[in-house]
């Protein structure tokens, strides 16, 4: 039976004596009466959530999102599959060999995936910062227009064409 992630309410009923932990962990039930906490990869969960949402909004891209993200249980698996597809040479070095090599490298050196996750978090912050900056730039542009009198010129032009 596959594990299911439970809500906080169900956590209390399954393991009433266990303390609820922060958002970095989640309670998993393997079988009735057997439960334990597992670490939740917040970066991978966010990527999967975005992929699911985009796949629902864009039916033409659904297969792409499924192949690249939703078909994989972990970030490691998705990244290994993506890189293997890019690096594979069918006759010389097959996809499966590169995929297995990458997975073993990822499991052998936790620093690789820490760096990947840090890069993904940094990129997310950079995108958010750029969106904020664009909003600020557009506001400052409109305020400069008002300060420079361009707004009055625009209003005169609208009146003369009406």
Asked if pLDDT for residue 119 goes beyond 70, the answer is yes
Distance CA 27, CA 47 (A): 21
Which neighbouring-strand residues pair with 31? 34
What is the pLDDT confidence band of residue 149, given thresholds at 50, 70 and 90?
Answer: low
- Which has more confidence, 138 or 55? 55
Indicate the pTM of the whole model: 0.59
- Which has more confidence, 149 or 93? 93
Distance CA 129, CA 134 (A): 9
- Which has more confidence, 44 or 15? 44
Mean of the per-residue pLDDT values for the chain?
74
Q: Which of 19-28, 46-55, 132-141, 147-156 has the highest mean pLDDT?
A: 46-55
Asked if pLDDT for residue 100 goes beyond 70, the answer is yes
Asked if residue 36 lies in contact with residue 18, where contact means CB atoms within 8 angstroms, the answer is no
Mean of the pLDDT values across residues 18-29?
40
Name which of 144, 145, 162 is nearest 153 in CA terms. 145
pLDDT of residue 11: 38
Asked if residue 104 lies in contact with residue 94, where contact means CB atoms within 8 angstroms, the answer is no
Q: Which two tokens stand for residue 48?
A: 């999967």
pLDDT, tens digit, 9 for 90 and up, residues 30-81: 556 666 555 678 899 999 999 999 999 999 999 999 999 999 999 999 999 9
Asked if pLDDT for residue 145 goes beyond 80, the answer is no
Asked if pLDDT for residue 93 goes beyond 80, the answer is yes
């Amino acid at each position: 039976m596959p594990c299911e992630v439970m809500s906080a309410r169900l956590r209390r009923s399954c393991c009433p004596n266990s303390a609820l932990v922060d958002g970095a962990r989640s309670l998993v039930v393997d079988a009735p009466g057997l439960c334990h906490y597992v670490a939740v990869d917040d970066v991978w969960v966010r990527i999967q959530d975005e992929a699911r949402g985009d796949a629902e909004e864009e039916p033409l891209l659904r297969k792409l999102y499924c192949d690249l993200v939703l078909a994989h249980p972990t970030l490691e698996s998705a990244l290994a599959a993506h890189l293997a597809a890019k690096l594979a040479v069918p006759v010389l070095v097959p996809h499966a060999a590169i995929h297995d090599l990458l997975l073993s490298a990822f499991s052998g050196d936790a620093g690789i995936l820490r760096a990947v996750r840090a890069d993904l978090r940094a990129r997310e912050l950079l995108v958010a910062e750029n969106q904020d900056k664009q909003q600020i730039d557009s506001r400052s542009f409109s305020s400069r227009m008002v300060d420079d009198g361009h707004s009055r010129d625009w209003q005169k032009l609208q009146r003369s064409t009406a």
